[in-house]
Amino acid sequence: MKKQQLKLLILLGAAFAFTWTSCKKDKATEVNPQEAPIRPVKASSNAYVTDLFDFNPAPGQFTNTGLGDTAAAKATLKTDQGLVSLGGWGGYIVVGFDHTVLNTDGKTDFVVYGNAFEKFAEPGVIWVMQDKNGNGKPDDTWYEIEGSASHKDGYVRNYSVTYTRPARDIHTGLPCDTCSVPWKDNKGNTGVIQTNMFHTQAYYPIGLKTDTYTLTGSLLPSSNINMDDPTFITSASFDYGYADNSAGGDKIDISSAIDDKGNKVNLKGIDFIKVQTGILANMGWLGEQSTEFTGAADLSLLK
């Protein structure tokens, strides 16, 4: 074999080895949602959510009461008969299933329960997550369920509100229980979570050590609220896609999940859901709009 031919073979071999190694490395580090681990349904699997991972209410008339504390949040597990208030805009709860809820073509996959009824809904944004890294924790990427209000005026993605603890009493140093809670959003708007005569406890979460905190999510339009008759305030539901939106629960298709830019995502299944109060509105004597969560279930396991 001539020296030039041998040199050419060596160069070709080195190039092949480099290409094979690079491809192997790329394949190993690639994160593909379709290859996320699936936790199969077992005989012991529960149709309802079984684990509470986070409960972070916004200020509201039921915050710091038995309807807006961690005990109430835990009572929504393994049932559709719990009840916890998420407070004003941005308050949320994160729960998980003991198995992966599969995305079935052409069908709704899970249901979120609330306490909506005819002519009065308090819609909450629903987020889903699949356990891509397989560690059993909701620390991967949240995807928003796209609902019918996602393209309406008043819908804002990547919205945030900062709440401030009300001024303290100069004599006791304690929070002013009857004071409304100031807020400021990332659009420069300001307002308050207004207190009312029916609920006189502190509306700002008493468990927080900081005097401000910020919640982030998607803002839904408040145009469905009708306060023309103060004695009969109504809040119509959206057509589809939200929690605490329809009497009897809201059925959700995992295929309607979108990313932070509004693009559709292809999820094989989901392990965790987050429900978050979606509307920032004061309804007079009825208080703030506050999504309520009573449970969630895998539709494929409900009998």
What is the Cα–Cα distance from 114 to 293, expressed in whole angstroms? 5
Burial 71-100 (b: 16+ CB within 10 A, else e): ebbebbbbebebbbbbbbbbbbbbbbbbbb
The pair of structure tokens assigned to 195 is 């207190």
What is the Cα–Cα distance from 128 to 256, expressed in whole angstroms? 10
DSSP symbols for 4-73: HHHHHHHHHHHHHHHHHHHHHHHHHH---GGGS------TT--SB--EEEEEEPPS-TTTTSTTSSHHHH
pLDDT of res. 34: 53
Q: How many CB atoms lie within 10 A of CB 279?
A: 27
pLDDT at residue 2 greater than cutoff 50:
no
pLDDT at residue 22 greater than cutoff 90:
no
The pair of structure tokens assigned to 158 is 């990547």
pLDDT of res. 169: 65
Q: How many CB atoms lie within 10 A of CB 294?
A: 19
Q: H/E element holding 269?
A: strand 269-277
Most confident of 84-98, 159-173, 193-207: 84-98
The pair of structure tokens assigned to 115 is 């306490």
pLDDT at residue 265 greater than cutoff 70:
yes
Query: Which percentage of the chain shows pLDDT scores above 70?
Result: 86
Burial 171-184 (b: 16+ CB within 10 A, else e): eeeebbbebbbbbb
What is the Cα–Cα distance from 207 to 213, expressed in whole angstroms? 12
pLDDT at residue 16 greater than cutoff 70:
no
What is the Cα–Cα distance from 211 to 169, expressed in whole angstroms? 14
Higher pLDDT, 11 or 239: 239
What is the Cα–Cα distance from 133 to 242, expressed in whole angstroms? 27
Lowest mean pLDDT among 140-149, 171-180, 206-215: 171-180
pLDDT at residue 187 greater than cutoff 90:
yes
Query: Which percentage of the chain shows pLDDT scores above 90?
Result: 83
pLDDT at residue 21 greater than cutoff 60:
no
pLDDT of res. 168: 73
Mean pLDDT over each residue of the chain, to the nearest integer: 89
Residues 6 or more apart whose Cβ sits within 8 Å of residue 87: 57, 58, 59, 60, 62, 63, 68, 193, 277, 288, 290
pLDDT of res. 170: 57
pLDDT of res. 175: 62
pLDDT at residue 236 greater than cutoff 70:
yes
pLDDT at residue 6 greater than cutoff 90:
no
What are 118-147's pLDDT values in tens digits?
999 999 999 999 999 999 999 999 999 999
What is the Cα–Cα distance from 13 to 15, expressed in whole angstroms? 5
pLDDT of res. 23: 38
Higher pLDDT, 177 or 63: 63
pLDDT of res. 299: 98
Provide the β-strand partners of residue 22: none
What is the Cα–Cα distance from 78 to 198, expressed in whole angstroms? 31
pLDDT category at 183 given cuts 50, 70, 90 is very high
pLDDT category at 32 given cuts 50, 70, 90 is low
Placement of tokens 């539709």 in the chain? 299
pLDDT of res. 176: 77
What is the Cα–Cα distance from 175 to 167, expressed in whole angstroms? 6
pLDDT at residue 49 greater than cutoff 50:
yes
Answer whether 92's CB lies under 8 Å from 54's CB: yes
- List phi, psi (to 5°) of 63: -65, 140
pLDDT of res. 303: 82
pLDDT at residue 83 greater than cutoff 50:
yes
What is the Cα–Cα distance from 14 to 205, expressed in whole angstroms? 64
Provide the β-strand partners of residue 101: 270
pLDDT category at 167 given cuts 50, 70, 90 is confident
